[in-house]
Amino acid sequence: MSVPPESVVPPPSEPSSPSDIPAQERTWAMAAHLSALLGAVVTSMHGGGFACFLGPLIIWLIKKDSMPFVADQGKEALNFNISVAIITLALVVLSAITFGIGLIIAIPMWVVIGIGWFVLTIIAAVKANEGVRYRYPFTLRLIK
């Protein structure tokens, strides 16, 4: 039994080029990346800084069903920032269990991770604003 061609529903089309992504979606995707910077600044004023993933999480949850590009980039920003938070927390634990000796390793690593996190977040935001799907390197893909 064959299915008539009229009943076949084509798959949703992906934008053929970055310029096909609406400006509003590109702006929200950029905000998903940049919100990590805001989250880190706000929470660092209150003794933390680990909440860099809250902004991307909120934007992803709000826009994932209505804007496919934002869903993709929000999820990417969320995964990257969760990865950075896990690594940072692991360095804190290392420092604590070695009674501070681990700080010899942790402090330089925090500097490198902080600079890399900042630079990669800016690059991702610029690429998202251009309509390019950016993939962070060294990221655990925890949110599928």
pLDDT at 9: 44
| pLDDT, tens digit, 9 for 90 and up, residues 15-50 | 556 668 999 999 999 999 999 988 877 776 665 666
| pLDDT, tens digit, 9 for 90 and up, residues 43-97 | 766 656 667 888 899 999 999 999 999 999 999 999 999 999 899 889 999 999 9
pLDDT at 1: 54
pLDDT at 112: 95
In the structure, what pLDDT confidence band is assigned to residue 10 with cuts at 50, 70 and 90?
very low
More confident residue, 139 or 9: 139
Cβ contact 58:75 at 8 Å: no
In this prediction, residues 118-143 reach a mean pLDDT of 94
What residue ranges do the domains of the chain occupy? Answer: 21-130
